[in-house]
Structure 1
Amino acid sequence: MSRCPYLCAFGSRVKGNASWESDLDVYIIIKDLTTDSSKQIIDIAWEVGFQRDVIISPLIFSQEQFESGPLSESSIVKTILREGVAA
């Protein structure tokens, strides 16, 4: 994986059963995640969502967390792998 983030969407909007109030679930994998980059992504997600009248809910992982950390065995990661659509 390059230093570029990997971005995918999942959840009700991807499955096609979202209501008008549903958020847009996205996950972002960054090779070398830092606190600053995470905060920056959250700020950008809020700005874009505000402009488009949708709440964007980013889940941000380092590559290591997603692939081999304890989180890699979680139900949310399994859902992401099953339902995720690359953006």
Structure 2
Amino acid sequence: MLESRDEWIKKRAYAIWEEEGYPSGRDTVHWEQASSERIALEKKAGKKEKVDTKPKTDSKPKVKGQAAAVMAAAVAGATAKAATKRASKKTGDAKI
């Protein structure tokens, strides 16, 4: 998180104020809510860092999600091109 903690809370409290329709006299409530959200984010980020720092037992990286789909499409495309080349050579010989 690049901006300071107070700056983040200030921006979030302002966004909450806007979402609620600009009510007057609720600035403390909005600040407390934003502060609670920031604390929750920091705890979540702390847990994530602890999970990420565990030593990996599998040395081979796993491909997930969209990257797996892209790799599968690339392999399928390469296979299709190779099959097309083989088929065109066979049909070319048969025409003669």
Normalised by the length of structure 1, the TM-score is 0.26
Q: Tell me which structure has the larger Cα radius of gyration.
A: 2
Hey, which of these two has a bigger chunk of helix by percent? 2
Normalised by the length of structure 2, the TM-score is 0.24
Hey, which of these two has a bigger chunk of strand by percent? 1
